[in-house]
Structure 1
Amino acid sequence: MKNNSSNHFIKAFETELKTIENKVSLIQNEIIQIKAFTTSEAPVLKSTKMFTLYDNKTNSVFDLSFLGFRKHFNKFFTEYLNNNKTSEVNETSQKAVEFAEYYKWLNELKVPKTREKFSDLNNEQKLLALHYLFPSLRDYTQNQLANVLSQILNIGPENIRKNLSALYKKDSEIRTIENYEKLIELFENKTFETITNKLNWEINQMS
């Protein structure tokens, strides 16, 4: 595939894509519109002895309304998709090649999937929650915990090791009223009453 940095079809679509929430739908519609455009003739809007006016408007991002008679354009488009070259080199074939590259790019475009967010706890709060939920974690070395928790929490082991070191300090930057209040919300259930009582005690000590 060619370097598409100067492809104006791609540039226009990337600009539009940034403003659309349902990106997958936009991509799919554009591909459908291109298929329909390149496999049909343009409807005639007006025809006289002097000229014929064609309707090349579509429900798409790409704009080829200026094209006029599209038979040769469509032929070059298909030639390039099939053989990576066209039977002629002219302004129309060059535009068709650019459009074909755009079509290929759309088909290869990957839309990153947004992971569903289940937690609004930051990394420090997650570690603090585990500390109160599983007091026996103190029985393991920091290296052992860092390696295991990095896999469970999807956090770098160095960050975990650093927070573990701070976790057991009296004046720790992890042990803040804000973090404790967040955990009280998390454990606000009769099942975890012992933990919430401990958290409230910690806050009172800091007040």
Structure 2
Amino acid sequence: MKNILSIDGWYFRVFSKLANLILLNLIFVVSILPIVTTGISIIALINSLQELKEDGSLSALKVFTAHFKNNLTKGLVLLVIEVAGFSIPGVLIFLSLKHVPLLSTLIMILFSFLLLLLVVFPFVYALNNYSVKEAFFQTVAFVTVKIAYAIAIFIIPIAIIFFSLKYQIIFLFLIGISLIFYIQLYFINKAGVLSES
């Protein structure tokens, strides 16, 4: 019993990680309230989760705040890329369905590939010192070579959001968002595509 409750025991590690996920989730939810900071918050959350994974004794609030301050420009660029990446193909699909239904199938296939890119891109861009162009090419390489990982990374948010909507929406606001990013980060690390930053 003494070993279980020690600082090195599994009990402390599990609940420490859980507390960090909850705290990061709450900070993230508050930080995206001004919509403009969404990209910055995503990068800060990804980097914080990576750093806390390596050293769980750090303060989640300090780590998140530091990454938030250091990634203002990068976060705004990410927001523009993600909004454009989701909206432009969406408009094209809508217009093609309305005017050229035959073309809509091809656009939907391309959009499916683009969705995988849009889900993986924030991780590649946040965790590496890449320019947007380099991050894009690394993301395309990841999605084409490690397609199983990319699909898993895409399915994780859908599954957790579905679970939250079906059972308790509060789960999403309490821990769900940071849990999504934490599991996705696990697959990104397992795929071995991150360079040493």
Q: TM-score w.r.t. structure 2 length?
A: 0.22
Report the structure number with the largest CA radius of gyration.
1
Q: Per residue, is there more helix in 1 or in 2? A: 2
TM-score between both structures, scaled by the size of structure 1: 0.21
